[in-house]
Chains A and B, each alone.
Chain A
Amino acid sequence: MAGIEAAETVDQLTPEMLTSGEWDDVEFAEYNVEADAPEIEGGRKHILRQTADRAKDVLVGMGFQEMDGPHADADFWINDCLFMPQDHPARTHWDRFALDVPPIQELPDQLVDRVESAHREGVGEDGDGYHSPWDRDFAEAVALRGHTTSLSMRYLSGFAGADIEPPKRYFSVEKVYRNDTLDPTHLLEFFQIEGWVLAEDLSVRDLMGTFEEFYAQFGITDLEFKPHYNPYTEPSFELFGEHPTTGEIVEIGNSGLFRPEVLEPLGIEADVMAWGLALERLLMLMYGFEDIRDVHGTLCDLELLRETEVLQ
């Protein structure tokens, strides 16, 4: 330090210097302003949550109201209302998380009767039912919902307390549970984007137009509609879109107009179009992640969550 007058060069500006006026007599030591600073993380929203919020923003902007309802629900709301026959493979032990709790305490009896009749006899004069068993005990059994369409059924039936005079748009971005094998692209619980529109005289073209608008918000254009089969919608479509970066054609959703066997028991006279999409798939499309387990769940990698660019 020889030859340098300490009084004239200081490291740190202090409150005392400011109050005494000493700051005017000193020189501040130069910093290496290019040197690295210690790393800090700071709080941030989980990237899957950011993606969910983005989807919610888009849907609210398109005039959709959010639904809420139970994760553990009667098979009646999860499957029977959706005209899923009770011997459908998706309702077996292999796909479904049955819960070890007593059956649901209350279901709307008249609706149960109408749903049972739709399963057994069909609806309308030319309608046919399924040739499958139907048992109220199964309908009352409680399981983790395999899709959030259980919420749509609760809302459309009026059981959730919402006004269902057309026109209406509703959505949810909530968790669903599937008894699948855990692997890089499949989780036992994941988020489903669910949406439906209730209006008079809806057509397949309205459904296509709505999805084009929704997916365009995420940079996914040139949708393809592949005719598909679901027990609860007709016509039904799988949606395919081009990956914004890789150009690959990937399945991005499942959609359709609810069948009369779904709507008539609920007392809905207008048309309802609906669709579902796994939020994780949208996330993987947007970020190019290869293993969803790095992101969602207790095996997550904090560094990946910290380093991933925030969603704009």
Chain B
Amino acid sequence: MPVVDVDPDELRELTGHDEKSDEELKSDLFNLGLEFEGETDDGELQLEFAPDRLDRLSVEGVARSLRYQYGDETGVYVPDTNDPDWTYHVEESVPEGRPYVTGAIVRDVNMTEDVLESLIQLQEKLHATMGRKRDKAAIGIHDLTMLKGAGVADETGHSITYRGIDPDGDRFVPLDADSEMTPADVLADHPIGDKFGHLLDGFDRYPAIYDDLGLFSFPPVINGRRTEVEADSRNLLIELTGTDQWTIDHICNIICYALSARGGTIEEVEIEYPTAIGPYEDVGGGLVRPDFETDTKHVTHDRIETILGVDFDQREVLDYFARAGLSASVVSGDAADDGAIDAAAADTADTPDTDDDLPDRVADADGVVYAVEIPPYRVDVLHPIDLIDDLGRAYGFNELDPRYPDVGTVGGRHERTRLEDTVRTSLIGLGFEDLLNFHMISAEANYDRLNIDPETTVDDADHRLVGAGDPVEITGPYSEDYTQLRTWVLPSLLMVLENNTHRAYPQDLAEIGLAAEVDDSENTNVAERRSIGAVLARNDATYEDAKARLAALCDDFDADLETPPTDHPTFIDGRAADVVIDGETVGVIGEIHPQVLVDHDLELPVAAFELRLDALQ
């Protein structure tokens, strides 16, 4: 989950609540879902939160949410924007893998060291979350005064150009470097190139952004040093590139709102794509950004009451929405209910609330419907249910009285686990200590150390060695101890014996657990079964001890047991048998081979058996 570092003094300043103690702030933040995790060396609060409200990835957004919670602000706020002066011109050469761009100009930011630090943090956190580690979106923020760009189409205005270039096609001085490098040099020699270079795997042209003076940004890897933002930069150019227009536009909105809270004035930019087809078909050939248009979703009064289990009047609903930073208005329903609508309409004059704008379904719906306006920095509202959640948070979920649902159902166990439990009870009655091991194992532990080869068959293809079989392997495992699912249980039990040679004997252990192998007759291509494994580790353990217990177990389940001799390299020659139940071979029993014992550092005999659980059904 994301963690954001917030200076409590800045938070007090931005919320306008100097009187709040750190403890009060922490408690208010917890109610917002921001959990205090600890303090940084500089005394900043480290706040952890779930990755839905990405507009809270900096102190500015956290402060805005608190102001709504305190009731200092209500309803949707949209900053004013100035008309565009800059154009982001996109050339056809732009790499296919990163076709989209967006951005904004922000002027007169009250920049300080702290504001700059917060902006850098916001940028990093947005990269890590919505930006999918820069794969989906990469942000570049530049000092506007260092940029020089004449208009492209006519002589008025300014422009920058986004194009694709040869990896060695141009040179610039990247951040944290002293000399000119080509983009390919950056990937090869710059520490940041090492971290993000893989995002350009397979690109024959690299993304590059130019002004009249040359290359100044190499997304998604690094900016140029020339336009680096300093603590005295007041005018900023923001550019974002990525694989999805909506995603970069919304990240841009979050940054603009944060800078607006720092006194910045937002100025629109024009995006000029080379065509309106191909990747640009859905977005169009020309855009004006940032896009601060609000979204509106409709939610019924009835659904709010059902989900929260609370009766509200309309005025309360409108008030809680406003405190959640949303603007709601009643668009349909019984207007005479409690006279709250007039007040609401006055509060939310900006919201379209005439019936003409409504889809038919809303006008026809029974009961009251609210149109809820959603601000452009919200990236988490996909459905009206999300608005009900916001309302619940504003109301305070911990205010709700729990109640046990008045719904009658009949409980019961699945027959598979009932069988497993009954067999386990019998094994325990026979003196076995019940064990619980991992289903993942290494090939070495599963096969080699048990002296078997996965492909061994005993006499024909249908009579495979118990424990052999095609392993279900983990793709690219991190740990050499866990590379596949076990094909049988005995290897796990022998490892437990190996790790417990310092504990008292006898060690009579049993486990009923999952074993699996590749099987193309299964829908998932994996055959999963429960297998019973048992070991008797004691100074005088013999085949007879194991067979006596296996026979008692089979007897409990009225299963007819035979033990014809078999060859199995895990066991001593002449002391191993197939477990045949009701005529079918379902397992193996015998005395473990001394080689296997020695390999597991065991200094006493072990008798063992393994069979399929469903044989006892």
Instruction: Tell me the A residues contacting B by CB distance below 8 Å.
Output: 39, 41-46, 48-49, 53, 56, 59-68, 70-74, 87, 89, 93, 97-106, 122-132, 142, 144, 167-169, 175, 177, 179, 182, 187-189, 197, 199, 201-206, 208-213, 224-230, 234-237, 257, 259-261, 271, 296-303, 305-306
Q: B507's contact among A125, A179, A206, A302, by CB below 8 Å, is which?
A: A302
Say yes or no: A62 contacts B385, CB within 8 Å.
no
Decide: A61 near B429, CB < 8 A? Known: A298-B437, A298-B496: no
Given A66-B417, A102-B520, A175-B514, answer yes or no on A302-B503 (Cβ-Cβ < 8 Å).
yes
A-B contact count (CB 8 A): 272
Shortest beta-carbon distance from B589 to chain A in Å: 19
Q: Indicate if the CB atoms of A60 and B473 lie closer than 8 Å.
A: no
Q: Is B274 engaged at the interface, CB distance under 8 Å to the other chain?
A: no
Of B15-23, B328-336, B386-394, which stretch is located at the interface? B386-394
- Is there an interface contact between B474 and A229, defined as CB atoms closer than 8 Å? no
CB <8 Å contact, A208 and B402: yes
Residues of B within 8 A of A101 (CB): 472, 518, 524-526
Residues in chain A near residue B383, CB distance under 8 A: 122-124, 126-128, 234, 259-261
Bound-state CA distance A260–B383 (Å) is 8
Residues from chain B with Cβ under 8 Å of A43 in the complex: 427-434, 508, 510
Complex: A271 Cα to B524 Cα, angstroms: 30
List chain B residues, Cβ under 8 A from A124. 383-384
Please pick, from B382, B482, B496, B526, the residue contacting A261 in the complex, using a CB distance under 8 A. Answer: B382
How many Å lie between the Cα of A296 and that of B30 in the bound state? 34
A227 vs B389: C-alpha distance in the bound complex, in angstroms? 9
Complex Cα distance, B407 from A44, in Å, reads 37
B179 interface residue (CB < 8 Å to A): no
Contact with A210, one of B136, B297, B404, B479 (Cβ below 8 angstroms): B404
B158 at the interface (CB under 8 A from A): no
Chain B residues whose C-beta falls within 8 Å of the C-beta of A224 in the assembled complex:
398
If A44-B428, A126-B298 touch, whether A73 touches B475 (CB-CB below 8 Å) is no
Selected interface stretch from B105-113, B118-126, B304-312, B349-357 = B304-312
How far apart sit A65 and B415, CA to CA, in the bound complex (Å)? Answer: 11
Q: Is the CB of A206 within 8 A of B405?
A: yes
Q: Is the CB of B424 within 8 A of A72?
A: no
In the complex, the answer to whether A297 meets B438 with C-beta atoms within 8 Å is: yes
Contact B523 A104 (CB under 8 A): yes
| Docked complex Cα distance between A296 and B437 (Å) | 6
The CA-CA distance from A169 to B307 in the complex, in Å, is: 19
Most buried by B among A63, A298, A305: A298
* B82 beta carbon closer than 8 Å to chain A: no
Determine if B247 is an interface residue (Cβ-Cβ < 8 Å). Answer: yes
Q: Is the CB of A71 within 8 A of B388?
A: no
Taking CB as reference atom, which chain B residue is nearest A70? B524
The answer to whether B309 and A203 touch across the interface, beta carbons within 8 angstroms, is: yes
Please name 5 further chain A to chain B contacts, defined as beta carbons within 8 Å, in addition to the given A206-B405, A297-B437, sorted by A numbering: A41-B433, A99-B474, A131-B244, A257-B307, A302-B509
CA distance A65 to B504 in the complex (A): 41
Complex Cα gap A204–B51 (Å): 21
Inter-subunit contact B436/A39 (CB<8 Å): no
Q: In the bound complex, do residue A203 and residue B412 qualify as a contact, i.e. CB atoms below 8 Å apart?
A: no
B468-487: CB near A (< 8 Å → 1, else 0) gives: 00001111111100100100
When the two chains form their complex, are residues B306 and A203 in contact, meaning their CB atoms are under 8 A apart? yes
A177 to B35 alpha-carbon distance, docked (Å): 27
Specify which chain A residues have a CB less than 8 angstroms from the CB of B50 in the assembled complex: 228-230, 236
Report if A61-B397 is in contact (Cβ < 8 Å); known contacts: A41-B504, A142-B524, A175-B439: no
Q: What are the residues of chain A within 8 A of B437 when measuring CB–CB?
A: 296-298, 300
Name the contact of A167 in the complex, choosing from B403, B408, B477 (C-beta under 8 A): B408
A303 to B502, CA, bound (A): 10
Contacts of A179 in B (CB 8 A): 478
A306 contact set on B, CB distance < 8 A: 433
CB distance from A236 to the nearest CB of B (A): 8
B528 touches A72 (CB 8 A): yes
- Could you give 30 example pairs across A and B, Cβ below 8 Å? A41-B433, A45-B424, A45-B434, A53-B421, A64-B409, A64-B411, A66-B413, A68-B414, A71-B514, A89-B132, A98-B474, A98-B476, A127-B383, A132-B244, A188-B438, A204-B308, A204-B309, A205-B402, A208-B403, A209-B404, A210-B404, A225-B397, A227-B393, A229-B380, A234-B385, A257-B307, A297-B438, A298-B496, A301-B503, A302-B496
Residue of B at shortest CB range from A77? B524
Q: For B503, give its contact among A169, A197, A208, A303 (CB under 8 Å).
A: A303
Q: Which of A103, A237, A299 has the most CB of B within 10 A?
A: A299
Residues of A within 8 A of B247 (CB): 131
Interface presence of B423 (CB below 8 A): no
Closest Cβ of chain B to A298, distance in Å, is 4
Query: Contact at B428–A298, with CB atoms within 8 Å?
Result: no
Residues in A with CB closer than 8 Å to B306 are: 201, 203, 271
The complex places the Cα of A284 from the Cα of B36 at a distance, in Å, of: 24
B535 at the interface (CB under 8 A from A): no
The interface residues of chain B lying within 8 Å CB-to-CB of A144 are: 474
Q: Please determine whether A74 and B440 come into contact, CB atoms closer than 8 angstroms.
A: no
> Given A101-B472, A296-B436, A298-B492, A66 and B412 touching (CB < 8 A)?
yes
Contact with A along B433-461 (1 / 0, CB 8 A): 11111111000000000000000000000
- Chain A residues contacting B188 (CB-CB under 8 Å) are none
Please tell me if B153 contacts chain A, counting CB pairs below 8 Å: no
* Most chain A Cβ neighbours within 10 Å, of B380, B410, B475, B500: B475
What 1/0 flags go to B212-225 for Cβ under 8 Å of A? 00000000000000
Please determine whether B411 and A65 come into contact, CB atoms closer than 8 angstroms: yes
Q: Give B1's nearest chain A residue, CB to CB.
A: A229
Minimum distance in angstroms from B84 CB to a CB of chain A: 24
Q: Is B516 an interface residue (CB 8 A)?
A: yes
- Residue in B136, B246, B407, B410 whose beta carbon sits within 8 Å of that of A197 in the complex: B407
Contact B526 A142 (CB under 8 A): yes
State whether A71 and B385 are in contact (beta carbons under 8 Å apart), knowing that A44-B433, A62-B411, A209-B405 are contacts in the complex.
no
CA distance A236 to B385 in the complex (A): 11
Cα–Cα distance between A211 and B386 once the two chains are bound (Å): 22
- Contact A298–B495 (Cβ < 8 Å): yes
Question: How long is the Cα–Cα vector from A29 to B438 in the complex, in angstroms?
Answer: 52
* CB atoms of B392 and A204 under 8 A apart: yes
B499 at the interface (CB under 8 A from A): yes
B499 engages A298 (CB within 8 Å)? yes
Contact (Cβ within 8 A) B411 A61: yes
A213 in contact with B404 given A104-B524, A189-B438, A226-B30 (CB within 8 Å): yes
Contact A74-B499, Cβ < 8 Å, known A65-B410, A226-B33: no
Contact of A205 among B401, B500, B514 (CB under 8 A): B401
Output the least CB separation between A58 and chain B (Å).
Answer: 10
Across the interface, name the chain A residue whose C-beta is closest to B497: A302
* Chain B residue at minimum C-beta to C-beta distance from A298: B495
In whole angstroms, what is the CA distance A118 to B523 when docked? 25
The smallest C-beta distance from B391 to any residue of chain A, in angstroms, reads 10
Structural contact, A235 and B392, CB atoms closer than 8 A: yes
Kindly provide the distance from the CB of B534 to the nearest chain A CB, expressed in whole angstroms: 11
B416 lies within 8 A of chain A by Cβ: yes
Q: Are B526 and A70 in contact (CB under 8 A)?
A: yes
How does the 8 Å CB contact mask read for B325-364 relative to A, with 1 for contact and 0 for none? 0000000000000000000000000000000000101000
